[in-house]
Amino acid sequence: MAKQRKKQMRKRSRKKRKVSKLFISTAAFFTAAVVVVYCIYYVYFKTPYLDLIAIDIIGNEFYDNEYLKKISGIEIGEKIFSIDRSSIKEILEKEIYIKEARVLYELPNRVYIEVDERKEKYQIAYNNEFICLDDNGIVLNKYSEKSDLLTIESLTDVIYNIGDRIEFKGIDDINAVFDALEYCKTEFGSETVTKITVAEENSVIIDTEYDTKIRINLKNDLKYQINFAMEIINDRLNNNLTVASDLIDFTKGDSPVYIEDFQMEDNI
């Protein structure tokens, strides 16, 4: 009996020690947590350590730094973590020339803004105005005078709003127009295309550096038509045949039609 009582007393003693250690550990944990929270509170609210001192902006050419800082609404001196990055990103991307924006914290006291701007790449001559587009057909601006950008003329009505994608009456897929342009420049050089004219019935007329025009059907294989036309031009040049003022037309049937001394106003 005496031995059994001693065992029970030892068990109770061990349990008390465990409870005591657990209590001490828990108390230590909460004390440490309180200290950490207090330190964070003190650093954030009572010191200037996280006060914003600068906004770094890169990638901007059309907009200057001061304008972007102004529309972002960020104030020098405010706490860095009070800055709503997603809201600022949304504000910046409402600007016509900004395709995408990134807003990052640069601890301890700077904000980093990177913008990807749209570039004026084409101009549409329409109603005595020159409508500027980026490479995706987004309307960026309009001017009263012609610039050095590649010109797109139109024989059909043009529908546009600043900030939206351009539309041409009679063209089902506007992307095909820009795909044809990009393919010509990529495969044959940036000087190959001197002008492009949007015609009706899903076709465009490409003016080349050889003074030869190529009319392609936007609903058919663009690469095939362009490559075929360039082969015809090169073959004629190699055989000392003229190509200036001629038209290679892929809209008349399964095979291209070659028209010499083509006059736009008489045939379109």
Supply the pLDDT for residue 215. 96
Supply the pLDDT for residue 267. 56
Give the helix/strand (H/E) hosting 185.
helix 174-188
Supply the pLDDT for residue 39. 46
Supply the pLDDT for residue 179. 93
Can you give the pTM of this predicted structure?
Answer: 0.74
Supply the pLDDT for residue 262. 86
In whole angstroms, give the CA distance from residue 111 to residue 76: 10
Supply the pLDDT for residue 263. 80
Give per-residue pLDDT as tens, 246-257.
999 999 988 999
Q: What is each CA distance from 116 to 1, 102, 113, 134, 140, in whole angstroms?
A: 86, 9, 10, 13, 14
Task: Give every residue of the chain whose pLDDT is below 70, as ranges.
Answer: 1-48, 265-268
Give per-residue pLDDT as tens, 71-111.
999 999 998 989 999 999 999 999 999 999 999 999 889 99
Supply the pLDDT for residue 68. 97
Supply the pLDDT for residue 254. 84
Identify whether the C-beta of residue 203 lies closer than 8 Å to the C-beta of residue 217: yes
